[in-house]
Amino acid sequence: MLRKPPPHYARDYARLVDALKAGFPLDTAMSNAVGGHFDAIGRIERSIVEHFGLRPGMSLLDFGCGSGRLSVALSDLEIDYLGIDVVDDLLAYARRRSNPAFVFRRHTALSIPRPDDSLDMACAFSVFTHLQHHETYVYLADIRRALKPGGVCVLSYLSFANPQHWPTFLDAVAAGKGHGPSPLVQFIEPSVIALWARELALEHVATVDATAAPWGGGRLGQNVAVLRKPS
């Protein structure tokens, strides 16, 4: 029987992490694997999820947790935390640096490994930027299933409507010409986020441009959208 090949996102990120580990010290490689500025971006991500309602005692799914930028920043907070990613090396690093009560799991399927109505919040920072649109839609549908009524999904994305994101597109063009291993880079327009929210019966609570930081903790560099499952 032929083995099913790994999905593109698992294959591409494993190759990227292997290349980074071969070329850099471990801490640098693990930071570069999630875009760099490990501590600073982790603090910004924490300020975002807290701005949109994360509080002690809540359950949080950190979808595409990577090497633990957010989990490290949240380690002093008493929450029911689950981080999922597709690369064991990233998960091992995140597990080592984060609150020992936090749970990390490798998960490559187009699904969310949580029961129905079990999450107060799900976040996906720079995850849908590396997926095909139909994959993002499938994940969003399952995130909706797993959210409690009134639960929220916080996601970041790149948009052609934002001139600051154009250099990222040019970098992807260069990578596509064979200049080193690189995962897919996907752009999503705000109108598409709004369409998906409408079709999935999610309330489109907020869209924040990459140049703004209403949470007061610095700019993330990607647009942020917040979707809520109706109560």
- Residue 95 domain-assigned (yes or no): yes
Give ∠ CA 65-66-68 in degrees, rounded to 5.
Answer: 75
Please tell me what DSSP assigns to residue 60.
E
Confidence of residue 182 (pLDDT cuts 50, 70, 90): confident
Any domain includes 133: yes
The answer to whether the CB of 204 falls within 8 A of the CB of 225 is yes
pLDDT at 69: 97
Q: Do residues 89 and 21 make contact, with C-beta atoms less than 8 angstroms apart? A: yes
Tell me, yes or no, whether 77 lies in a domain.
yes
Q: Kindly indicate the confidence band of residue 131, based on its pLDDT and cuts at 50, 70 and 90.
A: very high
The residue range of the domain holding 137 is 8-228
- Domain-embedded: residue 172: yes
Residue 133: the pLDDT is 97
Query: pLDDT tens for residues 41-53?
Result: 999 999 999 999 9
Residue 1 lies in a domain: no
> What pTM did the predictor assign?
0.94
Please tell me the predicted confidence (pLDDT) of residue 203.
98
State yes or no: pLDDT of 136 exceeds 60.
yes
In CATH, what number is assigned to the domain containing residue 138? 3.40.50.150
Strand 59-63 vs strand 80-85: parallel, antiparallel, or unpaired? parallel
| Per-residue confidence band for 227, with pLDDT thresholds at 50, 70 and 90 | very high
| pLDDT at position 4 | 76
**What's the rounded mean pLDDT across residues 172-193?**
83
Q: pLDDT digits over 119-130, tens only?
A: 999 999 999 999
Span 49-83, pLDDT tens digits: 999 999 999 999 999 999 999 999 999 999 999 99
> Does residue 3 belong to any structural domain of this protein?
no
User: Is 106 inside any structural domain?
Assistant: yes
Total tally of structural domains belonging to the chain:
1
In a domain, 144, yes or no: yes
Pairing relation of β-strands 80-85 and 103-106?
parallel
User: What confidence category does residue 93 fall into, taking pLDDT thresholds of 50, 70 and 90?
Assistant: very high
Average pLDDT over residues 22-39: 96
Determine the Cα–Cα distance for residues 223 and 38; give it in Å rounded to an integer: 19
Q: Where are the alpha helices (DSSP H) in 24-154?
A: 26-32, 38-51, 69-73, 88-97, 133-146
Supply the DSSP symbol for 158.
B
